[in-house]
Amino acid sequence: MPTPGGTDQESTTQGPTDPAARSRRASPSRLPADATVDLAAERRASGIDEILDTLDRELVGLAPVKTRIRELAALLLVDRVRQGFQLSASRPSLHMSFTGSPGTGKTTVALRMAELLHRLGCIDRGHLVAVTRDDLVGQYVGHTAPKTKEVIKRAMGGVLFIDEAYYLYRAENERDYGQEAIEILLQVMESHRDSLVVIFAGYKDRMESFFSSNPGLSSRIAHHLDFSDYDLDELMAIAALMLEREHYRFSEPAERTFRDYLQRRMRQPRFANARSVRNALERARLRQANRLLAATGRTWSRDDLMRFEPEDFLASRVFADEST
Amino acid sequence: MRITQGTFSYLPDLTDDEIAMQVQYALDHGWALSVEFTDDPHPRNHYWHMWGLPMFDLHDAAGVVYEVNECRQAYPLYYIRVNAYDASPTRQTTALSFIVNRPPDEPGFRLERQEHVDRRLRYTLHPYAADRPAGDRYPPTMPER
């Protein structure tokens, strides 16, 4: 059984050497029909709560996504208990599509999803193979099928994450090889349901037109999760989490400045939610380092090295645009 | 006569689950797996036909079992084996190799004697199956001879 705390990560990625994972995959011990089971105990034993809790703690917002993940986790847990009573049901289809604006956490959630499904014993390894059109579609006739199959084999036992999936289908070119990749994916999604979970991800509007031109694909995906944009408070919470991880912090005025910065940035084009926040903080680190080095003739404390000041953000182009 | 080449060949044929477990053992050691097939059972026939390229970066045995089954479908009457290559320094050789498919009827080998100078004899093995043309060596039911 995985132990709670920091060693978790290791025990889940080990997979095959983890005897608990293997026994979970195997059908649980047979129970007599009049037995009762303690679902709470089963739940504790599976260790899903830790993942759901880290999901809650480390991912800001995304309430509908979290709800769906909880529902899914509950279903899979109950399914496993049902198997003990020989109440077999077909394994639920787990293929998913994640739609949302850039930087809303699609890849991060996919990673967590792989870990979660592994804990629940749905997939054997729990690794994530992230691919784009380039990895699936070949360059000449007969190149696509082996290429796609190789990627699929690599992803077996884990999650295949297809980023910007709509590029697979190019409506303007009917001889595009992307169609072939989609057909192979469709076939494998049906025939190897037990060993592979496919997640399609992309921006909402383009994914919708992708699905409408491939109706067979859409109907094989049971879970369509939509990642909504973050509001200002959520973005600030994300920034706080990022800073904590990097051992930085805002000074009081800097926090107000950063809020102001985000407000301006959100109105500008190409705002990429959490990714923009991360980029802004990366640039602030540069400016902070510069500021510390430029001030000669004084010493800096530990706290000084951790703290962002308003001028670290005020030098940004976002503020410059406003003044001109 | 049942031919015995590679690991596990004195055991009963492995089931798909057992194959998957052996493959998983190889994957856990970081060995690259490949599938090969042939219809020439001679023990010194080392170079079998490759079924696709060797498979790298796999995490789960399902991918290899999938290829084995594809190969079985295409060549049900051939010998098929799974090789695991250990690329680590100082070893760099096949670490594990076992047969996963064999024809239903294996006619075996004939011992051939060759006269040499000074009445010396040289011995060699000749598979009966090799009397028939390649690709036609193991018909589903052996014809009356």
Arithmetic mean of pLDDT, A256-273? 90
Architecture of domain B16-101: 2-Layer Sandwich (3.30)
Task: Closest CB to B60: pick one of A125, A146, A150.
Answer: A125
Q: Cα separations (Å) of A72 from A52, A75, A88, A91, A193?
A: 11, 5, 17, 12, 16
Report the mean per-residue pLDDT for chain A: 83
Q: Where in chain A is the domain with CATH 3.40.50.300?
A: 8-227
Alpha-carbon distance B14 to nearest alpha carbon in chain A (angstroms): 19
Taking 80 as the threshold, does the pLDDT of residue B123 lie above it?
yes
pLDDT tens per residue across span A98-120: 999 888 888 888 888 888 888 87
Class for the domain spanning A8-227: alpha beta
pLDDT tens per residue across span A153-192: 999 999 999 999 999 988 788 788 888 999 999 999 988 8
* Contact residues on chain A for B66, CB-CB shorter than 8 A: 153, 156, 192
Report the mean per-residue pLDDT for chain B: 91
* Contact residues on chain A for B82, CB-CB shorter than 8 A: none
Closest-CA residue of A relative to B28 is A16
Quickly state the pLDDT bin for A23 (edges 50, 70, 90).
very low
- By C-alpha distance, which of A183, A99, A172 is closest to A137? A183
Taking 60 as the threshold, does the pLDDT of residue A18 lie above it?
no
Closest-CA residue of A relative to B17 is A26
pLDDT tens per residue across span A195-233: 899 999 999 889 999 998 888 888 888 889 999 889 999
Closest-CA residue of B relative to A124 is B60
Pairwise CB contact (< 8 Å): A158 & B60: yes
CATH topology of domain A232-323: Helicase, Ruva Protein; domain 3 (1.10.8)
Taking 70 as the threshold, does the pLDDT of residue A276 lie above it?
yes
Closest-CA residue of A relative to B54 is A150
What values do phi and psi take at A199, rounded to 5?
Answer: -120, 125
Q: Give the contacts of B131 (CB within 8 A, at least 6 positions apart).
A: none
Alpha-carbon distance B66 to nearest alpha carbon in chain A (angstroms): 8
Residue found by looking up tokens 């940004």 in the block:
A316
Which one-letter amino acid corresponds to residue A169? Y
Q: Where in chain A is the domain with CATH 1.10.8.60?
A: 232-323
Taking 90 as the threshold, does the pLDDT of residue A6 lie above it?
no
pLDDT at A42: 80
Q: What token pair was written down for B128?
A: 């009966």
What values do phi and psi take at A96, rounded to 5?
Answer: -135, 160
Pick the residue with more confidence: A318 or B43?
A: B43
pLDDT at A120: 79
Residues 109-148 of A with CB under 8 A from B: 124-125, 127, 146
Task: Closest CB to A195: pick one of B28, B62, B67.
Answer: B62
Taking 90 as the threshold, does the pLDDT of residue B32 lie above it?
yes
Task: Closest CB to A192: pick one of B55, B58, B62.
Answer: B62
Arithmetic mean of pLDDT, A53-80? 85
pLDDT at A20: 40
Q: Examine the predicted complex and report whether its ipTM is higher than 0.85.
A: no
Question: Which range is least confidently modeled, A90-99, A148-157, B88-97?
Answer: A90-99
Arithmetic mean of pLDDT, B26-37? 95
Taking 80 as the threshold, does the pLDDT of residue B143 lie above it?
no
* Contact residues on chain B for A124, CB-CB shorter than 8 A: 60, 62
Arithmetic mean of pLDDT, B65-92? 94
Q: Where are the domains of chain B?
A: 16-101
